[in-house]
Amino acid sequence: MSFVKTVFVSCFAALLILAATGCSSSGKGTNDPSVQTNEAAKPVTLTMYFKCFAVSDDDFARDFAGPVSRKYPHITLQKIDCTDANQFNQMIVAKELPDIIDDGITNIPILLDMDVPTDLNELVRKYEFELGAITPQILQFFKQFGQNGELYSLPRTQNVFATYYNKDLFDKFGVAYPVDGMTWDQYIELAKRLTVVERDSRYYGLQMGYFNRLQTQLSLPFTDPATGKALIQQHEGWRSMFSVFQTIFSIPNNRPPAAGVLYHGLNRFTKDRNVAILPDIFIGQAMDQFNKEGIGWDIASFPVFADKPKTGIGVFANGFVIPKTSKHKEEAFQAIAHLLSPEVQAEATRNGNMTVLDRKDIKQNFLENSAVYRGKNIPAFYYNNVAEPYITTKYDLVASNAYTEALRQFIFGSKDLNTVLREAEETANKAIASERAK
């Protein structure tokens, strides 16, 4: 795919939150690049571009620039904000790529098509960065984007998921609150009791976010890495996933008003306030308005499939990429290594950016600094395990678009599941063939 034809793609996760890596002590007593390098500490400014999300100036100073400058006074981090869809392509044309890119891991194939990422393995070896400190599923997912063992990105923070629920609606209809460990079937039974139409008011029992939440929970691949062909008919899990959506939205009066807003459960929950249950991504400060208005709410663990207890959502993460064009790769890696150190990650986790380090003691401090979530069931966010990674290919986005539309048609149309899956596979394969021909 030529870069001039590449379209800016937003993160699969969609809101904030990224992913973390860590370093721990080596046999030499340190994993600190500043100790292991003999280079003079010359002042340098590193540009850091946030490719698919916004980071406020205050958060950047707190979570990025501040920690780096305290560790390395000679390194200054400068933030580049995302401004529009063509910005990154314009950077490439102008030969003005940043020193560090913070981007969703599933966007790596796009960067590889543009020949942007540096293979970080040499820097990892030079500075004895211990990859084993990272949660295994996350590291495995990041590694698979290198066809021959390359490592193009280091994870920084993982997105977490839980079930948000409106306590006021549960109280209104006399339904007991959910608890951690509940299955999809159990939540569907609650939704039946919480989906109510009263005169001019309509209450939805359970609404959903984007469909890739369940896709990763079931570790479902979009395409075959050997053939590039769509796999929606070959994996029984896709049928299970479509069936769950169908069951939820077959509850009388629980289906959204239009196919176009099928995945907009977040808006109905936070803005319309007429949704009792929302299993979705961590939505951060959005819940502050509930607190201000005195609306009762809490969280429980994300629903699981009965045959996969404690298997939560898969890897949703952003990572650090160092472009090949950077003139400061060594300093960029030093900065990244410190941002991924246990001490920095521990503070980031307390601020609401969940670490990817395989450290229970750090995860247990999630949101410790958040007034919004004070008194809430925060352990629900890390109650489940991360699902095993699905196998990715460069055509996942193309197939995903076809599957997304197919699920909309299934929920709002009249075709049976077999027909929908067959047509989705045909559509995906045609789109993949077209992409290959470019």
| Domain residue limits, the chain | 3-158+316-363, 161-312+392-436
Tell me: the pLDDT tens digits for 199-214? Answer: 889 999 999 999 999 9
Per DSSP, what are the bridge partners of residue 320? 102, 154
| Least confident window among 36-40, 140-144, 304-308 | 36-40
Spatial distance between the Cα atoms of 115 and 7, rounded to a whole number of angstroms = 15
Percent of the chain with pLDDT over 90: 86
Cα angle 402, 408, 414; round to 5: 115
**Residue range 334-391, pLDDT digits in tens:** 999 999 999 999 999 999 999 999 999 999 999 999 999 999 999 999 999 999 999 9
The pLDDT score that the predictor gives to residue 346 is: 97
CB-CB contact of 388 with 137 (8 Å): yes
Tell me which residue of 155, 145, 158, 152 sits closest to 123, measured CA to CA. Answer: 152
Q: Give me the pLDDT at residue 54, please.
A: 87
pLDDT-based confidence at residue 40 (cuts at 50, 70, 90): low
Give the mean pLDDT of the chain.
90
pLDDT surpassing 60 at residue 10: no
Q: Which of 88, 65, 112 is nearest to 10 (CA)?
A: 88
Output the pLDDT for position 77.
98
pLDDT digits (tens, 9 = 90+) for 239-294: 999 999 999 999 999 999 999 999 999 999 999 999 999 999 999 999 999 999 99
The CA distance from 279 to 213, in Å, is: 9
For 292-302, what is the mean pLDDT?
97
- pLDDT surpassing 70 at residue 16: no
- Does 3-158+316-363 match 161-312+392-436 in CATH topology? yes
| pLDDT value of residue 85 | 83
Q: What pLDDT, on the 0 to 100 scale, is given for residue 199?
A: 87
Name the CATH superfamily housing domain 161-312+392-436.
Periplasmic binding protein-like II (3.40.190.10)
* Residue 272: CB atoms within 10 Å: 13
363 φ/ψ angles, rounded to the nearest 5 degrees: -60, -35
Residues of the chain with pLDDT > 70, as a percent, come to: 91
The mean pLDDT of 11-32, rounded to a whole number, is: 34
Residue type, 393: T
∠ CA 313-317-322 to the nearest 5 degrees? 160
Residue-level pLDDT at 224: 95
Please report the beta strands in 248-359, taking only residues with DSSP state E, as ranges in sequence order.
275-281, 297-300, 317-321
Out of 3.40.190.10, 3.90.470.10, 3.30.1330.10, 3.40.50.460, the CATH code matching 3-158+316-363 is: 3.40.190.10
Token output for 348: 């980031």
**Mean pLDDT on 79-96:** 91
Helix pair angle (236-249, 184-194), 10° resolution: 20
pLDDT exceeds cutoff 50 at 4: no
* Other C-beta atoms lying within 10 Å of the C-beta of residue 42: 9
- Residue 36, both tokens: 């292991």
Does 11 score more than 50 pLDDT? no
